[in-house]
Structure 1
C-alpha cells in the first residue's frame, strides 16, 4: 500500500483547546482568567457559551468544536456533575480521546479527584438526582458514571486553595509546550509509509496502560527513522511528555555523549532547559526519579549498543503507566539483549509499485517522463532493489536528464556504487569485528546465494568462526537466510562489500584480498601478478577455454 496522501501527523486542528466547565461555578473567575491567559499566549481556545444552550442535548456546533480541538481541558468544579450538558460534553471528549487521539487534561478545581472517581459528596448527589429524573437503569447515567471515573484517573492539575494566578500560569505553561511541539519533518514523498506506521502503532498497544518497548529494525536506508518520525507525530498528543532522540549512535560516540543524550531526554519531557547532569549514573537516577510518574513517548533513533539503552531506558519501571518507547536499530541484538523479542517490526523494502511511485515523484514530477523508456526505469529500480535511500538519492539526480545520461549513470553505477548511498550502508560494515568482516566480504564476493551449510564448512576450514559470524551479520541486517538455507544479502550491500575489496588496491587486482571477476582473475593468473594479499579466488568461466597459468619466476 502506498502513501502519497497526507499522514495523520499532518492533520490540522482548528482549535488548540476546548474548555469544558460548569458555568455557574467558574465562568466569571477562574475560567475567564484561564481563557484570557491562553489567548494571550496565542493559543486558540474554544469556550462554550453555556448560557445560550437550547434544549437538553449537546448541539452539533459544540460536537464539532470538541472534535476539532487538539486538547480538551476539563475543569471539574463542585457542581460540574449537576449539568447534563457538561456530562454529555465529557462523554464526547472521552470518545474523541479514544478514536482521534485527543489529549485530555483534567483540572480539579477545589474538588478532590477521589470525589469524582468514587462519585461521592456533590458528584454522588448530582448523579443520584439524574437517576431520579432519567431512571435508575438509565444508560445515559451509566455512561456518565463510567466517563467520570476514566477522566478522574487521568493526570492533570489539582487546586484546593491558594494563588489562582500561579495555578493558571502552570496550566498555561504546560499547554503552551504541548501546542508548541512542532511535528517532525518526515519525508518529502512518504511512499509506503502509512501501512508500516499502522503496523508499528499496533505493536505499541496504545489502549493499554502497559509500558511498552518496541523495536524498528532493518538495514541502513530502509526507512526506519522515517517510520519512527511518522509514528511519533501521529501519537505524541496522547502523552504527558515526548522526546525524539535522533542519531543516538553518532551522538553517544562524542565526549560525554550519553550524558548529553540524557539531558536532552529530560529537557524534552520536563521542559526544563537548565538541568545539570554530571555523569551517566546521575542521569540514570534523574530519568528514573523524574519520569516514573509520567506517561511519556520516547524514540531512541539509530541505537547500536546496549550501553545506550542502559543509560536512557533500562527498565520499564523508569516510566509511568502507558508509556511507549520506540527503538530504531540496524542490530537486532541490541533489542534481544533487553528482552525485546516479540515486539520488533522488521522494515521491508518497497515493492515494485511503491518503488516506481517514489522514483517518479523525484525524477518525473507532474508525470513528465520525457523520452525515458520503461526499461531504463526498471534498470534503476533493479539497482535500488526496494531501498528508499537509493531512490531518494538517484531520483533527484536523474530529474530532467536525457536518455543518454540515464544510460551513462547506469554504466557508472555498474562499475562503482554511489558514494552517498555507500556512506550510509558502510556504517554497518565499519562496526564489524575482524571475524565478521572477513565472513561478510567472502559472502559479498563469493557466496551470495550459496547453501549456508556449505558456506559454513568452507569458511570454518579457513579458520573463521562462521556460525556466530553469520548470525551476527543477520542481526546487523547485512545478511539474510532465504528458505532457511541460502545465504543472501541486498544487492547494494553486496556492492558495498565488493567495493571495499576493490579499494584495497584499485589499480592492481593481484594485491587485493579477494578475486571474483573473470577478467581480473584471468589477468592475475595468466600474468602471475598475484601476491600474498590474495585470500580467495572464485573463477566462473563464461565459456570453456584453455587458461595458461604461470608461476611467478623467482629472482
Structure 2
C-alpha cells in the first residue's frame, strides 16, 4: 500500500515572517501605559510582537533592530507628542517606509493624542523637532530630508486616531487595533493533529450545532469515550472561529487540573487572564472567581472551550449560565460523561463516532506504511480490527509499527491478544477509575461475562448479586463504556460483538492485574484455561464446598441460581463460566 500524507490546513504552511508586528514608538511618551498595554494585548491574541527598547540602542543592537523591522510582517507606528524629537524613532521610520516599498510590509500608524495634519504639515512639536535636527545635522541634510519624507508619507496612511481619555476608552481603542491586526496575522492556531484524518467531517457536525450566524449564547457538548478525538475536534473548531470573538480561552485537561489543590481557582484565573488581557485580577476562591467571570464577561462576546470535563462543579465554576457571557458567545464542553452535559442543561451534543474503515486505513497508512512495503492487507486489517476505529489506538500502534518487519507486526498482534497496549489502556481506564464501586462491579461483570447477552438477562443476574443494575448500566452508557444495541443486547462498543473490543479488554485487564500469576486469587474467572487451572485438584486442592462457595458466593436470590447453573452447563460445552468471588 502506498504511503499517504495528511496535514492540518491551519498548521501546514510555514510563517514567512519571524515577527508578526514591529512597534515603533517614542519611549518617554508612551512606553509605560499605551504601548505596554498594546503589546500585552497582541501577545494575548497570539500575535508575535517585537517591542523596541531604547535601552538597547548600542552597536550591534542597532543592526538587530533594523533586522527586526525587515523581518516583521506589520509595522505599527505610534506617533506621540515628542516622537519626532527622537532620531532613533525617525531612523526606524525611514527603514519601515523602505520595507513598505520594497517588501510590501503593511504599515499602520497610530496617532496618539496628536493630529495627523500636524505631522503631514510638519507643524507644532514635529516642526519644532525637525528644525532642531536641521540645526544639529546641518552637514547631514539628506538624513533630515529622509525623515521629513517618511513622516509625510506615513501620516497619509490609514490608521487610528486617539484623541484623549475623555472622548475614548483606551482599552477599547487598543482592542480595535488588535482586532484589525488579527485579521491580517490571524491568531496562532492550536496544534490539532499530525494527520487529522476524519476531523473535517466531524468538525462540520459541531459547526452546525454552534450556528455561528445566531446571536444567542450557546453551549454545546462533544461527547465520547477516551481516545476518540474529542479534544482534536475542539481544537480544530477553536482555530476556525476564534477570530470572530472579542476574547478566547481554551482550557485543556479540566478534569485533571481541577483535582489539584485550588485547581478550579487556577482555571478561573487562567480563563479571566486570557480574555481580559489588561485587567490584573486575583482570584481567591471558587465562588469569588465565578462572580468575577459573570461580572466581567457578561458584555463580551467570547469563545470558551472546556476540555475533558467530568463533574458539574467544574461547569458551575467556569460557565454556570449562558447569562454569564455576552451575546454571540460560544461555550464548547468536551466530556466522557453525557450526564454532565444533561444535568447542566446542555442538550446540543455531538456524539463522536469511531473512524470508518476508509478513514482508519488512511490514518494507519500515514503513520505506519510510509517506510514499509511488505505488510500484507491481512495484517493491516487485523491491526485495524484491534483498534476498532479508535484514533488513539491507530496512532499509537501505527507509530510503534512504523518501519517494522512483517514478523514484528505478527508478534505485536500476538502480544496484543494477551494484554492491551499500556498507552491505549491508560487512556481508556480513566473512565473506569471514575466509577463508584457499584458501577465498577457491573462494568467488570459485563466485560468478563455478559457482553452480547440480552439486557433483561444481565439485569436479573446482577440484581440477584445485590447490584443496582438499572441505574448502574445507564451510567455506563452515559460514560460511553456500555452500549445497548437495537436487539437489546449489551455491548461495549458500537461496532458490535464480532469486532475486537478495547473497552472490554481494558475491563478484563483490571481483573488480571488483581493477581497476575494466580487466577485463583482474582475476583472473576471467564477463560477456560484459568477456570480449569483453578478447579483442578493439582492447582487448587480444595473441597467441593470451597468450589461451591467460589462459584455461587454473592448470588443473593435463590430464584436466580438456575441462571448460573445454566451458565455452568454452557461452560461444559465450551462457553465461558461465570465465576465471581
Q: Name the TM-score, length of structure 1 as normaliser.
A: 0.69
Partner of 2:491: 488
Distance 1:413 1:12, change over 3 A: closer
Partner of 2:466: 463
Cα displacement (A) at 1:440: 0.1
Query: Separation in 2 of the partners of 1:346 and 1:159?
Result: 52
Partner of 1:302: 308
Q: Report which of the two structures shows the higher radius of gyration computed on alpha carbons.
A: 2
Whether 2:6 is the aligned partner of 1:4: answer yes
Whether 2:506 is the aligned partner of 1:503: answer no
Whether 2:247 is the aligned partner of 1:244: answer no
Q: 2:304 aligns to what SS in structure 1?
A: strand
Partner of 1:316: 322
Corresponding residue to 2:528 among 502, 518, 539? 518
Q: Is contact 1:518–1:541 with CA below 8 Å preserved after alignment?
A: no
Whether 2:212 is the aligned partner of 1:206: answer yes
- Segments of structure 1 that go 5 or more residues without pairing to the other structure are 18-33, 48-68, 76-106, 111-157, 546-555
Cα displacement (A) at 1:458: 0.9
Query: Separation in 2 of the partners of 1:40 and 1:513?
Result: 63
Partner of 2:359: 354
Partner of 2:241: 235
Partner of 1:372: 375
Q: Is contact 2:301–2:329 with CA below 8 Å preserved after alignment?
A: yes
1:129-168 correspondence runs (5 A): none
Distance 1:503 1:399, change over 3 A: same
Partner of 1:279: 285
Query: Separation in 2 of the partners of 1:437 and 1:160?
Result: 62
Corresponding residue to 1:433 among 415, 433, 436? 436
Partner of 2:476: 473
Cα displacement (A) at 1:371: 1.6
Q: Is contact 2:187–2:242 with CA below 8 Å preserved after alignment?
A: no
Query: Separation in 2 of the partners of 1:278 and 1:422?
Result: 38
Q: 2:345 aligns to what SS in structure 1?
A: coil
Cα displacement (A) at 1:275: 2.2
Cα displacement (A) at 1:389: 0.5
Query: Separation in 2 of the partners of 1:313 and 1:163?
Result: 31
Query: Separation in 2 of the partners of 1:332 and 1:10?
Result: 34
1:259-278 correspondence runs (5 A): 259-272=265-278, 274-278=280-284
Q: Is contact 1:9–1:234 with CA below 8 Å preserved after alignment?
A: no
Query: Separation in 2 of the partners of 1:281 and 1:439?
Result: 37
Corresponding residue to 1:344 among 319, 329, 349? 349
Q: Is contact 2:309–2:335 with CA below 8 Å preserved after alignment?
A: yes
Q: 2:232 aligns to what SS in structure 1?
A: helix
Q: Is contact 2:10–2:189 with CA below 8 Å preserved after alignment?
A: no
Cα displacement (A) at 1:354: 0.6
Corresponding residue to 1:406 among 406, 409, 414? 409
Whether 2:158 is the aligned partner of 1:186: answer no
Whether 2:295 is the aligned partner of 1:289: answer yes
Cα displacement (A) at 1:166: 8.7
Partner of 2:26: none
Q: Is contact 1:389–1:421 with CA below 8 Å preserved after alignment?
A: yes
Cα displacement (A) at 1:340: 1.0
Distance 1:270 1:462, change over 3 A: same
Distance 1:10 1:169, change over 3 A: same
Q: 2:442 aligns to what SS in structure 1?
A: helix
Q: 2:380 aligns to what SS in structure 1?
A: helix
Q: 1:44 aligns to what SS in structure 2?
A: strand
Cα displacement (A) at 1:171: 4.3
Query: Separation in 2 of the partners of 1:165 and 1:206?
Result: 29
Cα displacement (A) at 1:192: 0.3
| Equivalent pairs, count | 425
Whether 2:460 is the aligned partner of 1:454: answer no
Distance 1:515 1:268, change over 3 A: same
- Segments of structure 2 that go 5 or more residues without pairing to the other structure are 22-37, 52-71, 78-104, 112-158, 494-500, 555-563, 575-581
1:28-47 correspondence runs (5 A): 42=72, 44=74
Distance 1:308 1:544, change over 3 A: closer
Distance 1:8 1:205, change over 3 A: farther
Query: Separation in 1 of the partners of 2:247 and 2:351?
Result: 27
Distance 1:302 1:481, change over 3 A: same
Query: Separation in 1 of the partners of 2:572 and 2:460?
Result: 28
Corresponding residue to 1:327 among 304, 322, 333? 333
Q: Is contact 2:7–2:194 with CA below 8 Å preserved after alignment?
A: no
Q: 1:207 aligns to what SS in structure 2?
A: coil
1:98-109 correspondence runs (5 A): none
Corresponding residue to 1:443 among 442, 446, 466? 446
Partner of 1:363: 368
Query: Separation in 2 of the partners of 1:394 and 1:13?
Result: 32
Query: Separation in 1 of the partners of 2:571 and 2:262?
Result: 55
Q: Name the TM-score, length of structure 2 as normaliser.
A: 0.66
Distance 1:514 1:211, change over 3 A: same
Q: 1:506 aligns to what SS in structure 2?
A: coil
Q: 2:327 aligns to what SS in structure 1?
A: coil
Query: Separation in 2 of the partners of 1:446 and 1:3?
Result: 42
Q: Is contact 2:304–2:331 with CA below 8 Å preserved after alignment?
A: yes
Query: Separation in 2 of the partners of 1:216 and 1:165?
Result: 38
Query: Separation in 2 of the partners of 1:363 and 1:304?
Result: 33
Query: Separation in 2 of the partners of 1:505 and 1:469?
Result: 26
Distance 1:169 1:339, change over 3 A: closer
Distance 1:194 1:356, change over 3 A: same
Distance 1:292 1:521, change over 3 A: same
Q: 1:300 aligns to what SS in structure 2?
A: strand
Q: 2:458 aligns to what SS in structure 1?
A: helix
Alignment RMSD: 3.7
